[in-house]
Structure 1
Amino acid sequence: MRFSGKTAVITGGGTGIGAAVARRIKSEGGNVALVGRRKEPLQAVAEEIGAAIFQADAADTPSMKAAVAGIAERFGGVDILIANAGGHGVGPTISMSDETWDLSVRLNLNTAFVSARECLPQLIERKGNIVVLASIAGLFAGPDAAGYVTMKHACIGLAKSLARDYGRKGVRTNTVCPGWVTTAMADEQMEMLVEKHGLKSIEEAYALVTKDVPLGRPATAEDVSNAVCFLASNEASMINGAVLTVDGGAGTVDLPTLAFVE
């Protein structure tokens, strides 16, 4: 019951990693406030675990401000922010439109910034913490994903700034960088590989993208939630400004040596 008496705000909490974190925190005694733009997935998770939903756009200041005020009124305050909302931003720089770039900024970076800013007064008061969901795309560059790669790098910078600026006020901020995770969003990308390579299933596509990962498989949403919930708990009370990869060892691979692998 690591989260007994604590209230966690989870942006993008209706699907994938956000939903898995919500289940874990709720199962360990926490109050869970799910924030997202689409009501239906939020409602499905809320009904499953007994969470509260606050339909809001985490990148929109008035929307997020109202959601945080509602959460504080219902639960008494905010102890944990899981800045999980994110989105795509794919395409090469040379052909990326201003609209696609701006959307990538909004979905990946602005959601983290605005939600953190609006939660900070209560997090300072209650000595809470923030976990920002970035990606190993925030550490390395994937092909034709300029918007996503840039914004995930920026999310790590934001988290480090928060860790530095508010650590003395009792607020810890850390970042989790997953590799491939078997979520609905990743499934869409696997479908593209199925079509491109004539594969039989998305399982074969996941096997293809993880063939050089030392653990040889993608993460599950639960794998990532384990790391997120550790950082959000008092067990990580001396961890601030850390970047934790949940990638099966992908980031340890020396790419120029792959030619020597049988």
Structure 2
Amino acid sequence: MDNLKDKVAVITGGNSGIGYATAKQLKEQGAQVFITGRRKEAIEKAAQELDVTAFTADQANVLDIENLVAKVKEDFGAVDILFINAGIAGLGTIEQTSEELYDSIMNVNLKGAYFTLSKFIPILKDGASVVFLSSNTASMPGPGSSVYSASKTALNSVMKSAALELAPRKIRVNSVSPGPTETEVMKKSV
């Protein structure tokens, strides 16, 4: 299967879980895949296993995102598929949630995702596809998930605005909202 031959795909948070599985599928379909993650050893190990390109970047850090875009532009020129997958989870009631937990979740899941898209727009090919990893908690929040749910609800709103803004370039912007998935992020939030 090489229906993605000559396509360039960038996946944030590609060293584990849904990002890793997506990188594997895109690579098997012929895409040139570029994965990111904030843990150098983990991202390099995943890249070696998958035979893809890796770059260490923390999605919560706008300078890291800018450096990532510069590296992708240098290596590939432009991007066909952007999967903004990196995210973190955290649980706590509204009463228990610290400012630190709130900021860490929002900085990765919302701010980081927002600026990842923002900085990549100039190198997205016309007709490209952008996918945000959201969550079913965006529409079905539960006790203890207020900040995480809010970050994903806001992300869905950004997705809708981006779809309208990028439509003239025929760039599709969508989100996927899986339910609980057995990944490292899930294990860390329990």
Q: TM-score, normalised by structure 1?
A: 0.69
Q: Which residue of 1 aligns with 2:187?
A: 187
Question: SS where residue 178 of structure 1 aligns?
Answer: coil
Detail structure 1 runs of 4+ shifted over 6 Å in the superposition.
none
* 1:86-131 Cα deviation digits (max 9, x unpaired): 00132111221211111110121112101101111111x4431100
Q: Distance in 2 between matches of 1:171 and 1:39?
A: 31
Q: Give me the CA root mean square deviation.
A: 1.3
Following the alignment from structure 2 to structure 1, what is the Cα–Cα distance between the partners of residues 122 and 186? 34
Q: Which has the higher contact order (CA 8 A, sep 6+)?
A: 2
Q: Is the 8 A contact 1:130 1:172 kept in 2?
A: yes
In 2, Cα distance between the equivalents of 1:188 and 1:82? 22
- Does the 8 Å contact 1:14/1:34 carry over to 2? yes
Q: Which residue of 2 aligns with 1:9?
A: 10
Shift of 1:165: 1.1
Equivalent residues of 1:64, 1:118 under 8 A apart? yes
Find the counterpart in structure 1 of residue 145 from structure 2: 145
State the percentage of identical aligned residues.
34
Query: Is residue 131–residue 174 contact of structure 2 (8 Å, CA) maintained in 1?
Result: yes
Deviation at 1:186, TM superposition (A): 2.1
Give the Cα–Cα distance (whole angstroms) in 2 for the partners of residues 126 and 7 of structure 1: 13
Alpha-carbon contact 1:92-1:144 (below 8 Å) kept: yes
Q: Matched residues in 2 for 1:4 and 1:67: separation?
A: 22
Rounded Cα–Cα distance in structure 2 between residues aligned with 1:104 and 1:183: 17
Does the Cα contact within 8 Å between 2:89 and 2:186 map onto a contact in 1?
no
* 1:164-179 alignment, distance < 5 Å: 164-179=164-179
Q: Secondary structure at the match of 2:176?
A: strand
More strand, by proportion: 2
Q: Distance in 1 between matches of 2:137 and 2:84?
A: 16
Aligned length: 189
Q: Which amino acid aligns with 1:10?
A: I
Which residue number corresponds to residue 91 of structure 1? 92
Higher helix share: 1
1:116 aligns with 117
Please list, as runs of the form range in 1=range in 2, the aligned pairs for 1:24-39 lying within 5 A after superposition.
24-39=25-40
Instruction: Find the residue that maps to 1:79 and give its secondary structure.
Output: strand
In structure 2, the residue matched to 1:40 is 41
Give the drift of 1:3: 1.4
Shift in CA distance, 187/95, structure 1 to aligned 2, threshold 3 Å: closer
Q: TM-score, normalised by structure 2?
A: 0.94
Matches within 5 A, 1:1-262: 1-123=2-124, 125-188=125-188, 192=190
Match for residue 231 of structure 1? Answer: none
Q: Distance in 1 between matches of 2:12 and 2:74?
A: 18
3-state SS, counterpart of residue 4 of structure 1: coil
SS at match of 1:163: helix
Secondary structure of 1:127's partner?
strand
Contact 1:84 1:132 in 2 (8 A): yes
Partner amino acid, structure 1, of 2:170: G
Q: In structure 1, what residue type is equivalent to 2:65?
A: M
Paired residue secondary structure (1:128): strand
For 1:170-203, what per-residue CA distance to the aligned partner results, in whole angstroms no more than 9, with x for missing partners? 21100100011121222345xx5xxxxxxxxxxx
